[in-house]
Copies of this chain bind each other. A is one copy, B any other.
């Protein structure tokens, strides 16, 4: 029987969530802790106390090195880890890590920026997932659904270009704050919800430039008795995801795509991408973060792991 011992701590520190894992040298997860203490929370409490609390929950030895990805490295974060610029080699992310002026060896990985006035874009956290799910010389397309969905073109292990869609956030603000709140039920989906999702998707893929009209149309269809309120949420989701996929398909081509997904949203994207003609391979989002942090840790401290 192999007994793995703790080699480092891996942290995914987002805008509104904190997750940390006690890791073995081979990337195996030995323990985990999570909480709502994201960057926004830490703006008032500070970052160090939150980390200390979670390290205690992991029962981590004080001398273990710690590697962090995500918003902790933003300008408004703990210590800024300036963006690497496209094109940039995923395998060299650790070169941009910033050491935090705190006891122990704590490093924050950088995000990636596309410094192009015609297509400015930024990511923090997703670059580590990309590192986690790609081989050193990977060439291909990756999709990471979420609040701000990302599509990333990687060539020979380099991030060459990417596009962020406000899909998830638009769903929230439209469902909560627009007239469509009257067209949405937040309870369990109806039996016909899958059909509504596919309908929304098809409509958006056929007319991606018509999104702002399709949104009102969703409300009008209910007023006129063509559609049910119970299907509103999945139809809205279909419209927004379909618009994203249609545009990404026009930019990057309809091809093989590696989908970094989780839970229900991952399933919706898998359905939608297949319907749009993509050839999909799915990898788990949390595992992608763990593996990316582990690869960076091995670059940073691998020689000292025993």
Residues of A within 8 A of B (CB): 113-115, 117, 119-122, 148, 163-167, 169-170, 173-174, 176-179, 207-213, 215-217, 220-221, 223-224, 226, 240, 243-244, 246-247, 250
Contacts and interface: CB of A to CB of B under 8 A. Distances in A.
Given A122-B223, A122-B224, A224-B115, A212 B166 contact: yes
Nearest to A121: B220
Given A121-B216, A122-B220, A176-B177, 8 more contacts: A121-B217, A164-B217, A166-B178, A166-B215, A173-B174, A177-B177, A208-B208, A213-B247
A299 to B, nearest CB: 27
A243 B121 CA distance: 20
A208 B247 CA distance: 9
Count this chain's copies in the assembly: 2
A95 to B, nearest CB: 21
Q: Is the interface of A mostly helix, strand, loop or mixed?
A: helix
Nearest to A147: B179
19 contacts: A113-B223, A113-B224, A117-B226, A120-B226, A121-B217, A163-B213, A164-B220, A166-B179, A166-B213, A169-B178, A170-B174, A176-B177, A177-B177, A207-B247, A209-B246, A211-B243, A212-B240, A213-B244, A213-B247
Contacts of A207: 247
Contacts of A250: 209
A250 B165 CA distance: 23
Contact of A170 (B115, B212, B224): B212
A176 B177 CA distance: 9
B120 A221 contact: yes
Given A209-B208, A250-B209, A216 B166 contact: yes
A235 to B, nearest CB: 12
Contacts of A240: 212
B211 A212 contact: yes
